[in-house]
Amino acid sequence: MSDPKHTEEVLPSSHHRLSLSLQSARLGIWDWNLETGELVWSRECREMFGVVPDTPLSYETWLATLHPEDREPVDRIVQTALESGNEYSADMRVVLPDGVVRWIASRGRVYYDQQRRPIRMSGAAMDITQFKETEAELQRTRAEARAQADDLAIILDAAPVVTLIAQDPACRTMTGNRAAYELLRLPYGSNISHSAANSAQPKHSVFQNGQELRAEEMPVQLAAKAGAAVSGEEVEIRFEDGSSVYLFGNAVPLFDEAGKVRGAVGAFLDITDYKVIEERLRMATERFQVALRDTPITVFSQDLDLRYKWAYNPVGRYDITQLIGKRDRELLENAEDAAMVEELKREVLRTGTGYRGELAIMVNGERRYYHVNIDPQRNYLGQIVGLTCASFDLTDRKLGEQALRESEVRYRELAENRDREIQARTRELEDRTRQAMLASEGLKDLSGRLLRIQDEERRRIARELHDSAGQMLTALDLELENLAEEIRRSAPHLTMKMQGAQSLVQQLYGEIRTTSHLLHPPLLDEAGLFSAVQWYVQGMRERSGLEIDLQIEEDFGRLPRDMELALFRLVQETLTNIYRHSGSDTASIRILRGRDRVVVEVRDAGRGMSAEKVVSIQSGGSGVGIRGIRERLRQFHGDLQIESSDRGTSVFATIPIPQPVMGDENTVQARVG
């Protein structure tokens, strides 16, 4: 048996060590006598629940210390433990007297008498506030990380930028956003990388400056290999069907925590439309230069600082290379002239309203007169980025007018004695006046001539494509057919390749035929506006996916050829603008013919244009397409109106029909609508 005296000495020491351990661990103990209702807490337990010493304790006192939202759930847990005999375990919030909220974890067990009646519950409580705060912060951080990852994935899929992501240094596996798979014509989620195994590589080819790139030469692979950004890369993607798209962008490497390359990311813009427009602009510029050659018209542009950026057919002592980068104050001989011209241009930049008028300035020591057009140049956002100007030399006309005035003075002085000379001079002056009036109409005539040149050029190109290229392709198709027959007899294993070649020739013939018809539809000359518009609208439906409702009567009849062409170009240009810019999936066209006029209405349900843009269009400050339509209509004294809102855009055009001359059998008879 143990020594009682020794036990009495050891017990106080053990109790002291236990108390110190409980204090260090922030652990309190409690005991609840279920028969008497007495609740005993250790000092640590009282501190946790904010109960001052000597305060009588009971089950209700304990519940009152809990957060109001936790009292009922915790009470239910206690009652369940008493009824089931299971261990009691609950996490609860305690509101201390100073209002501070703490988290307490309490655990205990129930003790029973011989009749299995609960007589006591004992346990321990521990402050877990820091753990709960850490847990909440971790959950919040994880939620934010998940949200950021989800947002990034949504942004990448929604962005019109082609994004390529390689997660290994060799870039053998590469994925992309939705725009990448759509542009590359690959199944969503498939491997995009040309560095993959041969069987998994995509079928398209990548070119740069006309040379096909190997996998390791492609931008994303270069960034991963070098461990450095690759910027300003332009590549061409060629597909098996012969079509191409052009991309421009950058690639950067990805690094792991140790600073080693773990992959790369590339972001590219689809610049295919830009490349097509660039080529069209080059061709249009060439035609523009041909049309203005040997005319007294100068065209130029300036930036916001009024420095010359570009000029064609400049006058005076400076050539193009000497103009670029300079202001009028550095070029004009007279400082007052430069100040006047620059003030006019600054006013156009400030107000956004173009200027039309006459100016007189010193050039090569003599005063010359010009009719000038100064218009604001805007970017795709409608912001003014410079000026576009055109000047027409009126000096000869002005000199003629001055000579006319001087002559009139002299003639009045000699009127009584020189009637014959006055009559002769009058006829001469009338001729000069007519010439001056013709000169003032030069700009309008030039505009009409440019349109006619453009239409004739389109007609000529379309005819050459159809006649020359079409005939050669037909001959080639016949030769291939003969060769195919020979191959079927002598080399049947080449039959499939020959059939593929024949299919490509037939596709090329179809593309050439469609292109030639778009340049100048033969149906317009042969069958008139009804057939030509029906054909174009059907082709536009198939090419663009637009739902187009066309209303034109089958017995529409014929109009003068140039008028039919103007109406066809109106429909062609407006449908093209709807497809490219409006965002609308539908369009409606109504072409009505009355007794004395033709009315065309084209509507869409797109995003519409800003009020400023509509005002600019109505004032003539629109793009090349709308200006071309307006100029074509002006040749026939027609009118063009445009209305736009957030529900869509409507274009209205009216052209008067020439009335037949009695007895003229060649005049097209106007039908009563």
CA distance 432 to 671: 43
Return the minimum-mean-pLDDT range out of 132-141, 451-460, 628-637: 451-460
CA distance 360 to 394: 9
Predicted confidence at residue 630, as pLDDT, reads 81
Return the minimum-mean-pLDDT range out of 105-114, 181-190, 432-441, 496-505: 432-441
CA distance 182 to 470: 33
**Which of 222-236, 324-338, 565-579 is predicted most confidently?**
222-236
Q: What is the CATH number of domain 522-673?
A: 3.30.565.10
Torsion of CA 48, 51, 54, 55, to 10 degrees: -140
Residue pair 426/415 in contact (Cβ under 8 Å)? The answer is no
Per the listing, tokens 């057009």 go with: 373
Predicted confidence at residue 466, as pLDDT, reads 46
Please tell me which residue, 428 or 78, carries the higher pLDDT value. 78
Confidence bin at 138 (pLDDT 50/70/90): confident
Predicted confidence at residue 530, as pLDDT, reads 87
**Which 3-state string (H, E, C) describes 36-92?**
CCCEEECHHHHHHHCCCCCCCCCHHHHHHHECHHHHHHHHHHHHHHHHHCCCEEEEE
CA distance 200 to 172: 10
Q: What is the mean pLDDT of residues 198-218?
A: 90
What percent of the chain has a predicted confidence (pLDDT) above 90?
29
Predicted confidence at residue 490, as pLDDT, reads 76
Which residues are within 8 A (CB) of 609 and not within 5 positions of it... i.e. 6 or more apart?
617, 644, 649
**Which 3-state string (H, E, C) describes 208-249?**
ECCEECCHHHCHHHHHHHHCCCEEEEEEEEECCCCCEEEEEE
Return the minimum-mean-pLDDT range out of 177-186, 253-262, 452-461, 637-646: 452-461
Structure tokens at 454: 């453009």
Please tell me which residue, 18 or 564, carries the higher pLDDT value. 564
Segment 428-471, tens digit of pLDDT? 766 765 665 565 455 455 555 555 565 565 555 655 554 455 45
Structure tokens at 450: 């440019």
CA distance 367 to 22: 106
- Work out the burial of residue 60: count CB atoms within 10 Å of its CB; fewer than 13 is exposed, 13-18 middle, 19 or more buried: exposed
Please tell me which residue, 380 or 208, carries the higher pLDDT value. 208
Phi/psi-derived region of residue 410, left when phi > 0, alpha when psi is between -120 and 50, beta in every other case: alpha
| CA-wise closest residue to 106 among 66, 64, 55 | 66
Predicted confidence at residue 499, as pLDDT, reads 67
**Which of 165-169, 362-366, 431-435, 485-489 is predicted most confidently?**
165-169
**Which of 1-15, 32-46, 134-148, 486-500 is predicted most confidently?**
32-46
Average pLDDT, rounded, for the chain:
80
Predicted confidence at residue 511, as pLDDT, reads 57
Q: Is pLDDT at 301 greater than 70 in this prediction? A: yes
Tell me the CA distances in angstroms from 8 to 3, 16, 20, 275, 290, one per residue in order: 9, 13, 19, 99, 121
| CA-wise closest residue to 392 among 317, 462, 292, 536 | 292
pTM of this structure: 0.34
Tell me the CA distances in angstroms from 244 to 188, 192, 271, 380, 487, one per residue in order: 20, 17, 11, 25, 32
Q: Is pLDDT at 19 greater than 80 in this prediction? A: no
Predicted confidence at residue 5, as pLDDT, reads 46
Cα dihedral sign, 419-422-427-430: negative
Residue pair 273/257 in contact (Cβ under 8 Å)? The answer is no
Per the listing, tokens 């209305």 go with: 643
Query: Residue 385 carries which side chain, given as an amino acid letter?
Result: V
**What percent helix, strand, coil does the chain show, rounded to 5?**
50, 25, 25
Residue 532, H or E segment: helix 529-544
Per the listing, tokens 């807490």 go with: 41
Torsion of CA 309, 314, 317, 323, to 10 degrees: 0
Return the minimum-mean-pLDDT range out of 5-14, 146-155, 176-185, 210-219: 5-14
Strand partners, 573: none
CA atoms within 13 A on the CB side of 482: 5
Predicted confidence at residue 513, as pLDDT, reads 52
Predicted confidence at residue 67, as pLDDT, reads 93
Residue 641 dihedral angles phi and psi, to the nearest 5°:
-130, 140
Tell me the CA distances in angstroms from 256 to 128, 190, 204, one per residue in order: 36, 24, 31
Structure tokens at 431: 């001729």
DSSP state of 492: G
Q: Is pLDDT at 484 greater than 80 in this prediction? A: no
Q: Is pLDDT at 354 greater than 60 in this prediction? A: yes
Strands (E), 605-664: 639-645, 648-656
Q: What is the mean pLDDT of residues 507-519?
A: 55
Tell me the CA distances in angstroms from 555 to 29, 415, 523, 546, 567, one per residue in order: 102, 65, 15, 26, 16
Note the residue count of the chain: 673
Angle, CA of 359, 363 and 364, to the nearest 5°: 170
Please tell me which residue, 452 or 15, carries the higher pLDDT value. 452
Residue 114 dihedral angles phi and psi, to the nearest 5°:
-65, -20
CATH class of 159-270: alpha beta
Please tell me which residue, 1 or 78, carries the higher pLDDT value. 78
Predicted confidence at residue 16, as pLDDT, reads 46
Q: Is pLDDT at 27 greater than 90 in this prediction? A: no
The yes-or-no answer to whether 159-270 and 522-673 have a common fold is no
CA distance 517 to 532: 10
- Work out the burial of residue 68: count CB atoms within 10 Å of its CB; fewer than 13 is exposed, 13-18 middle, 19 or more buried: exposed
CATH architecture for segment(s) 15-127: 2-Layer Sandwich (3.30)
Residue pair 642/649 in contact (Cβ under 8 Å)? The answer is yes
Return the minimum-mean-pLDDT range out of 19-33, 249-263, 325-339, 378-392: 19-33
Residue pair 149/139 in contact (Cβ under 8 Å)? The answer is no
Q: How do the domains of the chain map onto residue ranges?
A: 15-127, 159-270, 522-673
Buried b (16+ CB within 10 A) or exposed e, 597-632: ebebbbbbbbebbeeebbebbeeebbeeebebbbbb
Residue 361, H or E segment: strand 355-363
DSSP state of 670: P
**Which of 59-73, 287-301, 307-321, 403-417 is predicted most confidently?**
59-73
Helix (H, G, I), strand (E, B) or coil at 463: helix
